[in-house]
Amino acid sequence: MTTITIGIVAHVDAGKTSLTERILYETNVIKEIGRVDSGNTQTDSMELERQRGITIKASVVSFFIDDVKVNVIDTPGHADFIAEVERSFRVLDGAILVISAVEGVQAQTKILMRTLQKLNIPTILFVNKIDRSGANTEKVMKQIKEVLSNEAFPFYSVL
């Protein structure tokens, strides 16, 4: 059996846990998408996480796609919990670096990208919150190309 471990990483409030919920929903692991503000997500299980609406401990959820076991690690975004994120890097086969279309590339985003590159972890850059007021995907794509990777290119899918 093949196992793939993917980390969801980003600055705080970029939407890591919400993306994890969507992945679990689209792979039929859950029947209903949980919401961070409702405190009913699969990966924020500690009471303090639910109260504060942030991830404190990295959480793993697993599912199968055919004969491949996929582990998704939802990591904290707050800089105070960076050690928790760094521990997760040791087991990753790939990462999804989430960037908010409203806030754009943040200091934490740069640190995470540099670390992922240094460790040669294949990374997908995922621009989230494109439907929010204040979102500016063109500006964010420009930031990504200038600050993170000039090899990045956009592709779009509407669910």
The model's pLDDT over 20-74, given as tens digits with 9 standing for 90+, comes to 888 988 998 888 877 766 666 666 555 655 555 555 678 889 999 999 999 999 8
Q: Which helix (H) or strand (E) holds 128?
A: strand 123-128
2-148, CATH topology level: Rossmann fold (3.40.50)
The answer to whether the pTM exceeds 0.75 is yes
Residue spans of beta strands (DSSP E) within 25-67: 59-65
The predicted structure's pLDDT at residue 150: 85
Whole-number Cα distances in Å, 13 to 1, 22, 29, 105, 136: 35, 16, 24, 12, 17
The predicted structure's pLDDT at residue 115: 93
**Ranges of each domain in the chain:** 2-148
The model's pLDDT over 92-139, given as tens digits with 9 standing for 90+, comes to 999 999 999 999 999 999 999 999 999 999 999 999 999 999 999 999
The predicted structure's pLDDT at residue 155: 75
